[in-house]
């Protein structure tokens, strides 16, 4: 009896989780998959105050070590387009202005917790 009860709870939780995800109020096209951003950071480099990696021939900014409140993200690093900012790369920093280049394709949650923006 206990096994049946536990299975029923498991199935109910799984169904609830799936239904909540399906009823998101945000359209799916707002979110791009971030599979490209799961890059091993073994090849992480620095350019000024930026940490970055290169993936598929484009630059992925992975962090920021500067103290400037106005951040200008470069259009190119090492002659490669800056196309992505990794999730949470700038999270919780005290910045109040960001200049983003036209080459940028993805920056989901990159500035999470930056309350001055």
pLDDT digits (tens, 9 = 90+) for 59-102: 999 999 999 899 999 999 999 999 999 999 999 999 999 999 99
Q: Is the pTM of this model over 0.85?
A: no
Q: Quick one: average pLDDT of 105-115?
A: 88
Q: Who wins on pLDDT, 26 or 114?
A: 114
Q: Token pair 């993200």 is at which residue? A: 73
Distance of alpha carbon 66 from its chain centroid, rounded?
19
State CA 111 to chain mean position distance: 9
CATH homologous superfamily of 30-99 equals Ribonuclease Inhibitor (3.80.10.10)
């Amino acid at each position: 009896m206990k096994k049946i009860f536990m299975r029923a709870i498991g199935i109910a939780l799984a169904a609830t989780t799936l239904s909540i995800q399906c009823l998101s109020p945000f359209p799916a096209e707002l979110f791009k998959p971030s599979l490209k951003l799961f890059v091993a950071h073994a090849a992480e480099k620095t350019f000024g105050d930026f940490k970055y990696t290169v993936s598929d021939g484009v630059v992925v900014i992975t962090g920021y070590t500067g103290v400037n409140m106005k951040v200008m993200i470069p259009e190119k690093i090492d002659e490669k387009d800056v196309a992505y900012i990794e999730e949470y790369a700038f999270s919780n920093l005290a910045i109040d202005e960001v200049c983003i280049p036209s080459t940028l394709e993805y920056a989901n949650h990159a500035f999470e917790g930056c309350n001055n923006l």
